[in-house]
């Protein structure tokens, strides 16, 4: 069964460093998302991406964040200068359609630890 994959599973970085989290969505999906979950808190939406552009972003997704689909398979989240509060589990998700049939499938997550 097709699934969303993410690498790395765990990333440790120093405050102020840049990190890139990678995702391979399900191959025939057209909508891509990043969410994050700080330990013990709700899963929060960061950004959605469709047709090679951002369709929506949350207040969390400030200028330090960017997303890219560099080729036909990968979807990346970049954090330019990490802060301690960026420590969280980051989930990539994809869906085949939007609107009424928007069932989102999630990857296993990347645990980001900022020291």
Partner 1 sequence: KQEVTQIPAALSVPEGENLVLNCSFTDSAIYNLQWFRQDPGKGLTSLLLIQSSQREQTSGRLNASLDKSSGRSTLYIAASQPGDSATYLCAVDGGATNKLIFGTGTLLAVQP
**Which residue from 26, 86, 109, 112 is in contact with partner 1, where contact means CB under 8 A?**
109
Structure tokens at 101: 């049939």
Q: Work out whether 7 is an interface residue with partner 1 (CB under 8 A).
A: no
Minimum Å gap between C-beta 74 and partner 1 is 18
Contact 56, 2 (CB under 8 A): no
Contact 24, 73 (CB under 8 A): yes
Distance of CA 59 to the CA centre of its chain: 15
Contact 20, 78 (CB under 8 A): yes
**Which residue from 56, 78, 85, 115 is in contact with partner 1, where contact means CB under 8 A?**
56
| Bridge partners, 22 (sequence order) | 7, 76
> Judged by CB, which is closer to partner 1: 65, or 105?
105
Q: Work out whether 70 is an interface residue with partner 1 (CB under 8 A).
A: no
Interface ranges with partner 1 (CB under 8 A): 31, 33, 35, 42-45, 48, 55-56, 58, 91, 93, 95, 98-109, 111
């Amino acid at each position: 069964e097709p699934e969303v994959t993410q690498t790395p599973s765990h990333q440790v970085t120093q405050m102020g460093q840049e990190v890139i989290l990678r995702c391979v969505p399900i191959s025939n999906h057209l909508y891509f998302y990043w969410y994050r979950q700080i330990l013990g808190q709700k899963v929060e939406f960061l950004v959605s991406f469709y047709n090679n552009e951002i369709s929506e972003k949350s207040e969390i997704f400030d200028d330090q964040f960017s997303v890219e689909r560099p080729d036909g398979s990968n979807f990346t989240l970049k954090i330019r200068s990490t802060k301690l509060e960026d420590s969280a589990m980051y989930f990539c998700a994809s869906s085949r359609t939007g609107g009424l049939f928007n069932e989102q499938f999630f990857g296993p997550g990347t645990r980001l630890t900022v020291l």
